[in-house]
Amino acid sequence: MKDIIEGSIAVALAVARCKPQVVPAYPITPSTHIPQELSRIQPEYGYDFVPVESEFAAISTAIGASAAGARTFTATSSQGLLLMHEALFNAAGMRLPIVMCVANRSVSAPLNIWNDWQDSISQRDAGWIQLYCKNNQEAVDTAIQAFKIAETADLPVMVCFDGFYLTHELLPLDMPSQGEVDAFLPPRVAKDVLDVEKPGALGCYAMPADYQDFRKELDEAVRLSSSVITKTAAEFGKKFKRGQTALIEEYANDKPVALVTMGSLAEQSEMIADEGLAGVVRIKCFRPFPSAEIARALQGKKKVVIIEKDCCPGAGGALAAEVKAALKDAGSGAEVIGIIAGLGGRDVTLETLRKAVAEGSDGAWM
């Protein structure tokens, strides 16, 4: 039985059924409906909902709660995520399994509240796992998986889904019951937590002889988390009888041309594949970046077109840079074209995608 439910409300309900213990939050469009719903249903689920004074306070509270052993969740968008920037590195460096939903939105200036991926892409080097969902069913499923991934890998996880296009969309969804979530996700077993009975500290001072070793361990942990993500997706798919994408997804990828993208653009791109213009390779997991899987999926292609909703000023698109590096390392001879489109909510139509595949040039904006 499917429920017709808004994307943000569905994610909030899925999170509540994961039995978080602390949910600090500050509202910002278009993520507001997530904490709003979590606040509304708090009496039913019993977690501590903490309405803080800013997004920096939200992530700081999440860090403190997680460090004390609590299962912790928050949500944000755009400038809110940017305000968290300093603390995001602390959360990852202290290996705290916080889960955060990011309703992807443009960043200022100029002020714009509509969708692109610039907010979360700008935080790609903070040490968080980043998972980008193509529809609301995947956002619900991934939010549940994120707690198990985070608590297994001892890393924080961002579950990213497109603001407005997904957060405010109403569609029929399979909502896992409380019993089903309980059977999949056990309570957090916290390690090395702050305890007043056993005084200690996290995130302590590191001297030059030691600091690099900590960063190396974090890098290795993020890289190795791909196996945790893959295993968790397989477990979820088996238990809930729904196919799950872990790292990448291929759609009709038997053509000499491939279109590579992320998020809800992937479902639009599948229509291009149905027209026979290109196969589609969707990247769900941006961190850790699945270089080997991408190289295999694009092996033998004559042309690879990457279309993305982000910009690194002076360097093009972040997704294109990653895909180009993966293909170069694999010795690919494909023509690789990176295209930026859809910033600030600009429509990416089927005609945009057709034009990108047929005549797009590297570095173009559409």
Region at 300 (left for phi over 0; alpha for psi -120 to 50; beta for the rest): left
pLDDT digits (tens, 9 = 90+) for 56-67: 999 999 999 999
**pLDDT over 90 at 191, yes or no:** no
Domains for the chain: give ranges and CATH numbers.
3-240 (3.40.50.970), 248-365 (3.40.50.920)
pLDDT the model gives residue 267: 94
pLDDT the model gives residue 20: 99
pLDDT the model gives residue 288: 99
What rounded mean pLDDT belongs to the chain?
A: 98
Q: What number is the average pLDDT over the span 315-332?
A: 98
Residue 281 tokens, joined: 């390779």
**pLDDT over 80 at 321, yes or no:** yes
pLDDT digits (tens, 9 = 90+) for 225-284: 999 999 999 999 999 999 999 999 999 999 999 999 999 999 999 999 999 999 999 999
pLDDT the model gives residue 206: 96
Give the angle 125-131-132 at the CA atoms, nearest 5°: 110
Backbone phi, psi, residue 284, to 5°: -90, -45
H-helix segments, 241-349? 265-274, 291-297, 318-329
pLDDT digits (tens, 9 = 90+) for 132-183: 999 999 999 999 999 999 999 999 999 999 999 999 999 999 999 999 999 9
pLDDT band of residue 192 (cuts 50, 70, 90) is confident
Residue 125: exposure state from Cβ atoms within 10 A (0-12, 13-18, ≥19): exposed
Q: How many CB atoms neighbour CB 314 within 10 A?
A: 5
**pLDDT over 90 at 86, yes or no:** yes
pLDDT the model gives residue 251: 98
Q: How many CB atoms neighbour CB 41 within 10 A?
A: 14
Burial pattern 62-98, b for ≥16 Cβ within 10 A else e, equals bbbbbbbbbbbbbbbbbbbbbbbeebbbbbbbbbbbb
Q: What number is the average pLDDT over the span 89-108?
A: 99
157: CB partners within 8 A, 6+ apart: 97, 98, 99, 100, 128, 129, 130, 131, 146, 149, 150
Round to whole Å and give the CA distance between 285 and 95: 19
Residue 291 tokens, joined: 């270089």
Residue 26: exposure state from Cβ atoms within 10 A (0-12, 13-18, ≥19): buried
Q: What number is the average pLDDT over the span 30-54?
A: 99
Percent of the chain past pLDDT 90, that is, above it, reads 96
Round to whole Å and give the CA distance between 91 and 107: 22
**pLDDT over 90 at 4, yes or no:** yes
Residue 2: exposure state from Cβ atoms within 10 A (0-12, 13-18, ≥19): exposed
pLDDT digits (tens, 9 = 90+) for 116-136: 999 999 999 999 999 999 999
